[in-house]
Amino acid sequence: MTDAYVALEGERVVSARARAPGRTRGELVFTTAYTGYEESLTDPSYEEQVLTFSYPLIGNYGVRSERFESDRVHPRAVVARELTDDVASWLTEEDIPAVDHLDTRELVIGIREEGAMQCGVVAGDDVTPDDALEELAQCEAMSDHTDIGAQVSVDSPVTYNRDGEGPSVALIDCGAKDSIVTSLIDRDATVHVLPYDTTEATIEELSPDLLFVSNGPGDPKNFDAAGDLVETYAGEIPLAGICLGQQVIADTLGGDTEKMTFGHRGVNQPVRDLQTGQVVMTTQNHGYTVSDPGELDVTQINVNDDTPEGLDSDDLDIKTRQYHPEANPGPHDTLDFFDDVLGMVDSKPTVSAD
Ligand SMILES: NC(=O)CC[C@H](N)C(=O)O
């Protein structure tokens, strides 16, 4: 058995068992999701973070690539009470350090009380507590990853379902999960997945029916190019956003965002629709929240802490969600969001060709 150490802010070091070797650092966060570890670990929103699972056993139904949400693992390291051999081998192949056999209850309570924090993780034959502290010393604050979009976005445009009968969607890829693309294709939309720093020239050329800002990692204030598109096209083209997308749209249209203490990460976050009173269970993964909705109306809130979960503007044709309506992992209660956003296009009067 090889050694592992996790160094936390305040120079505290916790010992663990190495399950995949390496040395790294990142923002320590936790998810309460008890299933869907393949989807979570391949969600680009976790870039530059170290993901702790509060559920004690991770990997009990194997690892299958058809459940992946992107082509690689995004957290910089993985922490759990017990990781199966399947997950440990996968993370070893992916070069992602992983550790287990530590008290994840204590770790999670610490994050809840003190907030998401910087950490260093080392795992392998010859690592020491000092190595973990050295990694911690080099850890940057999340907001200092100013070009994090470049790490997760496509390099050039990719079009799916070009001959689709449905609306054409320009999806600004700030680190989009594959299920967002699939949910749109399933509704026969043509989806143009565009780099996070796409400019107006590309949008003019494509002339899409809907502009959609995806989920993504880090601080929404570091996604200026997406904000510029929102500013230009709000009121001109219907707009949709998921998670980071909601944050960028609110930030741009007179609102603001702020960092939460430990965020929402899990698959049973209750959300209430303010008009119908209905509560749905949602999948979430975010550390920032909209603190001021600006020109948008708050239409849904989190039942646990009242933070905005849905923002809409009927005048500007905008619908955004802080949670992940595409699920994967998690409940399918909110898939109708995709019908609703494509419906914003259908409700527009169409100009007849003859
Ligand atoms: N899933 C996401 O899009 C996350 C958005 C943002 N990075 C946050 O942590 O709040």
> Which residues are within 8 A (CB) of 190 and not within 5 positions of it... i.e. 6 or more apart?
159, 160, 161, 162, 163, 164, 166, 167, 168, 169
Closest-lying ligand 1 atom to the alpha carbon of residue 284: 1
Q: Would you say the CB of residue 345 lies under 6 angstroms from ligand 1?
A: no
Q: Dihedral sign for Cα 147, 153, 158, 163, please.
A: negative
Q: What is the pLDDT of residues 185-219, one digit of tens each?
A: 999 999 999 999 999 999 999 999 999 999 999 99
Q: Give the distance, in angstroms, between the CA of residue 29 and the centroid of all CA atoms in the same chain.
A: 13
Q: Would you say the CB of residue 287 lies under 6 angstroms from ligand 1?
A: yes
For residue 227, give the nearest of 205, 208, 210, 245 by alpha carbon.
245
Q: Would you say the CB of residue 286 lies under 6 angstroms from ligand 1?
A: yes
Which stretches of the chain drop beneath a pLDDT of 50?
A: 350-354
> Which residues are within 8 A (CB) of 351 and not within 5 positions of it... i.e. 6 or more apart?
none
In contact, 315 and 262? CB cutoff 8 Å: no
* H helices present in 100-199, as ranges: 104-114, 129-137, 149-152, 178-185
Q: Can the peptide bond before residue 329 be classed as cis, meaning omega within 30 degrees of 0?
A: yes
pLDDT of residue 354: 47
In contact, 301 and 272? CB cutoff 8 Å: yes
The two tokens of residue 223 are 């996604």
For residue 76, give the nearest of 33, 3, 130, 140 by alpha carbon.
140
Residue positions annotated with a catalytic role: 243, 324, 326
What amino acid occupies position 276? Answer: T
ipTM confidence: 0.98
Residue 133 CB neighbours (<10 A): 17
Q: What angle separates helix 178-185 from helix 336-346, to the nearest 10 degrees?
A: 50
Q: Is 216 annotated as a binding residue?
A: yes
pLDDT of residue 347: 66
Cα–Cα distance for residue pair 273/301, rounded to 1 Å: 7
| Domains and their CATH numbers in the chain | 3-140 (3.50.30.20), 149-346 (3.40.50.880)
pLDDT of residue 348: 56
Closest-lying ligand 1 atom to the alpha carbon of residue 219: 7
The DSSP string of 25-75 is: EEEEEEE--SS-HHHHHT-GGGTTEEEEESSSEE-TT---GGG-SSSS--S
In contact, 172 and 214? CB cutoff 8 Å: yes
Greatest Cα-to-Cα distance within the chain, rounded to the nearest angstrom: 75
